[in-house]
Structure 1
């Protein structure tokens, strides 16, 4: 039973398949500004959370599954209830490579949806919870041959979610307040216009909010400051251009909204821990 488990334990490595269980009793908001080069599944075993993914914040409840594709900005926030248990599963692009292209597309389909939170009907939730708890039991107790189970369980979880989504769409979760909806509009604006000059005062005026209030409520709802989110969005796009194009680093800096090449290089390294040139070399 989970109640008898330690506050946290994990299994595997980020180079392949990684699973982590965590139980917290104190208020917690993820401190890091977060996106990465692997897939993530987040499952809430108990409690409540706020989860910002891509362009909006979602209220997350017990039994919810969150599917986060590679290079997608996300962050978990305190939702007024400190105690919670969660499981995260990470795997890189190599994990599904043993499957045929058709099967690979099927099991990765939950990550391709416009809505990132899957709230299953109760009967389906019970199936998923049973699967997750069995997985945790295996990696905590480590009976003979337990190493065989994690990839099987993760594949089964993905298959179950994919089959459900073939018959049902993600049910859109309503915004907690009209201001949450407004901040989603603003985030989507940033996501589409990050290459342009963007100033908080101009955005506040465009969306009929005071600059002071926008600065405060943006951080409260998304977990990011306005300037941090804009910077992360620009660097994430710079990474994509470094991976997928032959554009020069100077061209990429300009294309992602940086008017100062030196500032681009320093900001890129601060976030990725690599210079743009080294990032491209390591691909």
Structure 2
């Protein structure tokens, strides 16, 4: 593995995409990140903190992270900056092509309360072997290597889905009391994004000082309090534009923007298209 480049990839999202990366320098995802396809993250070595939806996870070697479509997520440094990971991206069309009418069964890992799944050694060993074979095939690009990513994706999903049937859902991540408190704040924001949400008001509601809430919110999630609210509102606006016939003005109001012009500018800044252009993509 040491002889391989520090990074290489195969394919392009939302179709089947695989990326291997090894880092030795400190790194935290800079972009505000969510997408309309699935992601599997596998930690080959090292440690990371991964914030997903409403809680943060301490990710260690051998851990699998399953991120559903449209889930806000961000990785951050934990301890030693050196780490090595593989990600796989794919959408429903890819899975339907590869798995046919068993696609829904293979999506079981994305429906768990916990995004982190830590397999026991007897299940982890074949999963890691498959992932390392995938990395080797993409890195060396020998004749026929293009056949491997789809096979490994199905093998990995099948291994984890069978494990869940036999052993049930993994336990929720055990966090510190303060992390539990911040998760409660984030869940409140996720449920009340259409309402006025101010740092002081939520700090009072959850019995935390505004300064401490602001600092711990950033430390745990990687987002500032205000950035998280804006992203949540824009993400919900995207859903309404895709799935309803509400006017763009009504969508803006429904997700908590009281200024239509500000909504349009914010939406375009985050998604790089206007609300009208976004709706046309899904029309």
Give the ranges of 4+ consecutive aligned residues of structure 1 lying more than 6 Å apart after TM superposition: none
Give CA deviations for 1:133-187 in whole Å, capped at 9, x if unaligned.
Answer: 0011111111111111111111111111111111122322443311111110000
Change in Cα spacing, 1:145 to 1:101, as seen in structure 2 (3 Å) is closer
Q: TM-score, normalised by structure 1?
A: 0.97
Map of 1:246 onto structure 2: 245
Alignment gaps of 5+ in structure 2: none
Q: CA RMSD in A?
A: 1.2
Alignment gaps of 5+ in structure 1: none
C-alpha contact (below 8 Å) 1:115/1:172 kept by paired residues: yes
C-alpha contact (below 8 Å) 1:48/1:60 kept by paired residues: yes
Map of 1:6 onto structure 2: 5
Q: TM-score, normalised by structure 2?
A: 0.97
Q: Separation in 1 of the partners of 2:41 and 2:276?
A: 33
Total equivalences in the alignment: 282
Report the alpha carbon displacement of residue 130 of structure 1 after superposing the two structures with TM. 0.4
Report the alpha carbon displacement of residue 26 of structure 1 after superposing the two structures with TM. 1.3
Map of 1:117 onto structure 2: 116
Q: Separation in 2 of the partners of 1:76 and 1:83?
A: 13
C-alpha contact (below 8 Å) 2:194/2:255 kept by paired residues: yes
Report the alpha carbon displacement of residue 100 of structure 1 after superposing the two structures with TM. 6.5
Map of 1:140 onto structure 2: 139
Report the alpha carbon displacement of residue 254 of structure 1 after superposing the two structures with TM. 0.5
C-alpha contact (below 8 Å) 1:59/1:176 kept by paired residues: no
Verify: 1:62 aligned to 2:61, yes or no: yes
Map of 1:53 onto structure 2: 52
Residue correspondence of structure 1 range 22-171 to structure 2 within 5 A: 22-98=21-97, 102-171=101-170
Q: Separation in 2 of the partners of 1:15 and 1:111?
A: 16
Residue 107 of structure 2 aligns to a residue whose secondary structure is: helix
